[in-house]
Amino acid sequence: MTATPHLITAHDLNGVLGAVSILDVRWRLDQPDGRPDYLAGHIPGAVYVDLDTELADHSRPATEGRHPLPPAGVLQTAARRWGLRNDRTVVVYDDLGSMSAARAWWMLRDGGLDDVRVLDGGLGAWRAEGYPLETGEVVPRPGDVRLRRGVMPVIGIDDAARFPDLGTLFDARAAERYRGEQEPVDPRAGHIPGAVSAPSAANLDADGRFLPAEQLRARFLGLGADPGAPVATYCGSGVVAAHQVLALTLAGFEPALYPGSWSQWSQHPDRPAATGPSPR
């Protein structure tokens, strides 16, 4: 295993196939159903996870955001279907720079699993090593994992409004969405007043792997993070923000996630929206 408790390399994963649980979390905003790609080729033994239906609760009102967190019992039922066990390492991956895999990483960590790894570089790193893929559906033996909620720090909409006065609130979306120049999904454009633009894509190198911890730390310190003050992050709907949580964790911070993110904030007309490159 790699030195970090949060990442694993393709080389190391290949060496422990069969001894870890692997989850394929392929998803993207313009193609939310990753199952066809999964069936066409996935890492041997990987079980497909549907982010939209298994890592979100769409029975909740729109005022809670586009990807509200599901109750612990719902996640536990899904995780047992994936074959997860409390005493077994879980590896998650995608083909989107770990943007969707990080959602599974965060939720399983929040549920109490200690050893959850993101495949650094995702499926691209696996392919680059020349390792094989398998096709079709993997149906594992049901697991016995026990999950809860509340291990990872979170903030709500009122906390997000106050947070810039207490610490640093990072906006993980693309810079043009932060500035309010475009908004392809949510009701209003702009950002939470006081939030700092920190696009999650800049956490990765050209190969889609996370930057070294010292570079990530320098990045966030340069954007205004204070090691002695709290740090939190949000995105469009709480998916990519989990990637930012992972990057901040690798950098030595203890970040909180705003799960509702801009998709919740923008649904409330009484919440102000800032535009332009400045936090306020």
- Name all domains of the chain by residue range, CATH numbers in brackets: 7-128 (3.40.250.10), 157-265 (3.40.250.10)
Q: What is the pLDDT of residues 113-162, one digit of tens each?
A: 999 999 999 999 999 999 999 999 999 999 999 999 999 999 999 999 99
pLDDT score at 43: 98
Tell me the one-letter amino acid at 22.
Answer: I
Phi, psi of 124 (to 5 degrees): -60, -40
Secondary structure tally for the chain: helices H, strands E:
11, 9
pLDDT score at 5: 86
Annotated active-site residue in 51, 160, 196, 235: 235
Residue 235 is a catalytic residue: yes
Residue ranges of the chain with per-residue pLDDT less than 70: 1-3
pLDDT score at 30: 86
Length of the chain: 280
Cβ atoms of 44 and 132 closer than 8 Å: yes
Rounded-to-integer distance, Cα 174 and Cα 197, Å: 8
Token pair belonging to 61:
């009102």
pLDDT score at 239: 96
Token pair belonging to 86:
């409390």
